[in-house]
Structure 1
Amino acid sequence: MVAEKKSFSRAAEALRLTQPAISQQIHTLEEYYGTKLFERTSKRVELTSAGETLLPYAKQILDLSAKSKGALDDLMGRVTGKLTIGATFTIGEYILPQVLAEYTQRFPEVELNLLIHNTEEIGEMMLDYSIDAGVVEGRLQHRHLTLTSFLDDEVVLFAPPGHPLADVSKVRAEQLEEHTFILREAGSGTRATAEDYLQKIGVAPRKIISIGSTQGIKEAVEAGMGLAILSKWCVRREMLAGSLQRLTLDGFHYTRPLSVLERAGRFQSRAASEFVCLVQQYAYPKA
């Protein structure tokens, strides 16, 4: 955690320990191995070459510890421990909460931690052993990662009420060329999906505004700044309330798979495997 946060105080906060306790643990490790593991400056903490060498082994030790506990829990039929889930914004904010509500009812002894990042960051966290399971909306290609689709997500184009295209029953692609589009940041699965959507309909917007949050995009559209493309899950409440209006493209319908992300060959705790099963089998309501 110190290596990840580059700070003793932030590591202590994340682990719910005191900073002196963290410092003592590191000091004990450095005495045991007979070398410095961190270079400390007034602004940040960096791993030494010895620390860089030790870090992957430390992660494997933690993984093996989890395996041993998981094996005993399985033997006794228990589902306990900590479960850290990485999810992309759309899934983490609009889909997973109802899944996790059912999960906590089934397995109340599991301590849940949900981290929300973009697709690329979730992939890095899985490779780095920082999360136990991932749920993403983007595409990832890595020989150590596997993606398993669990839900088809409809992606929609929308505008504020009163927009010139709002009253058009079937919008033609060429009518979109002159309009500003509001998209997520580069590296986001939502951004990649929107770009693919535009490419498929042959539209190259004259102007694009990037905003780093889904809520920010919705509020920008409501304020009349432009059009946007998001998962139907993200805008269903606003559409029901009438603050956003879906635009129907003539002869075009776009869906994308939402997927469970796992690390190939990695031991999966009972808590993680039960979560993955629930995600894949959950009876999702219509968005």
Structure 2
Amino acid sequence: MQIETLKAFRDLVESRSFSKAAQLNKISQSAVSQQIRSLEERFGVPLIERGSRKVQLTKEGEILYHASKEIVDIYLKIEAKISEIKASISGLIRVSAIYSVGLHELPYYLKKFLKLYPEVNVRVEYRHSRQVYQDIAEGHSDIGIVAYPSPRKLIKIEPFRKDRLVVICSPSHRFSNLKEVGLEEISKEGFIAFSSDMPTRRELDKLFRDRGLEFRPVMEFDNVETVKRAVEIDAGVAIVPMATITQELKNGTLRMLELSGPPCYRPIGLLYKSGRMLTPAMRKFIELLQKEEIPIEPVDVLKIKNGAPA
């Protein structure tokens, strides 16, 4: 009985899918089935309830699953410790990130990280928030990055950074010469909103609701790039993370205004699967994300006045 067989069994139980277990172990579905049969033959008991649409374990299967999980975790810890002894920071890191962070903030960190650890291959996928959680839970990604992180079963959350939220409008909008604007004024304008199922939209809804206000969504989009394009053509105003608009401010295609009152921030969190052993490369990557501060405000924004280079 090999460690790969126990890992395939563990992944099958956790993903509830032969195809996903096959993908995670880079083997065929028939190979996963053969490995399960070999375990059943070795122990002389059925491990999976046959005839069920979903993967359902027998009592013996439950016992083997928990044991397999412990054995695989121990094995991965041994691998990681040996790798540390060899001082080799290498391997693959699979990252799932929401679009706004993946496109506008992550590149700065990737450049720094790959310069420090050129033997590491970082593969980034841009995903919607719900897909990031799913990728982490099912083992398709090693590290996830989401806004307004919420507790989920089998997922560990660590803080990353906070994005400052600001108001944007087109250069021809009546707000364009203002330095700040309140929620009451914004509620009277056409509003370009994120889709209702996105965490940032839910928090903005709450922000207005807490002030006894409502905004009028004239358009709704599921990514910040389309929101910005709609604002550029003066279809309405929007509230977005400041880190996502530095290029438009430099180009003069958008104007930025502060929200009146205390600054509003969008927390960003790092996700990884609970109980899994992080490789040295993954730990170094998380460490850099948490310690390194992207120089957005001092370099890109404070030198910009009313949306044009100062």
The answer to whether the superposition gives a TM-score over 0.5 is: yes
Alignment of 1:1-287 (within 5 A): 22=28, 25-26=31-32, 28-29=34-35, 32=38, 49=56, 66-142=76-152, 144-199=154-209, 201-287=211-297
Matched-pair contact (CA < 8 Å) for 1:120–1:140? no
SS at structure 2 position matched to 1:248: strand
Structure 1 residue ranges without an equivalent (≥5)? 40-45
Q: How high is the sequence identity, in percent, across the aligned residues?
A: 21
Residues 66 and 214 of structure 1: CA distance in aligned 2, closer, same or farther (over 3 Å): farther
Larger-gyration structure (1/2): 2
Whole-angstrom CA distance in 1 between matches of 2:152 and 2:238:
30
Task: State the shift of 1:252 in Å.
Answer: 4.4
> What do the CA deviations read for 1:169-204 (whole angstroms, capped 9, x no partner)?
443432222322222223433323433443455430
Residues 81 and 59 of structure 1: CA distance in aligned 2, closer, same or farther (over 3 Å): farther
CA RMSD of aligned residues (A): 3.7
Task: State the shift of 1:275 in Å.
Answer: 0.6
Task: State the shift of 1:264 in Å.
Answer: 4.3
> What do the CA deviations read for 1:212-259 (whole angstroms, capped 9, x no partner)?
121111111112221111110111110121111113333342123323
SS at structure 1 position matched to 2:243: helix
Structure 2 residue ranges without an equivalent (≥5)? 1-10, 41-45, 298-310
> What do the CA deviations read for 1:255-278 (whole angstroms, capped 9, x no partner)?
233232344443221111111111
Which piece of structure 1 moves more, 188-197 or 129-138? Answer: 188-197
Whole-angstrom CA distance in 1 between matches of 2:76 and 2:150:
26
> What is the TM-score of this pair, normalised by structure 1?
0.77
Whole-angstrom CA distance in 1 between matches of 2:229 and 2:65:
42
Whole-angstrom CA distance in 2 between matches of 1:30 and 1:175:
63
How many residues are treated as equivalent by the alignment?
Answer: 277
Task: State the shift of 1:28 in Å.
Answer: 3.5
2:306 corresponds in structure 1 to: none
Runs of 4+ in 1 over 6 A off after TM superposition: 1-4, 52-62
> What do the CA deviations read for 1:104-141 (whole angstroms, capped 9, x no partner)?
22222222222322334323333333322223221312
SS at structure 2 position matched to 1:207: strand
Task: State the shift of 1:280 in Å.
Answer: 1.0
Whole-angstrom CA distance in 1 between matches of 2:67 and 2:119:
29
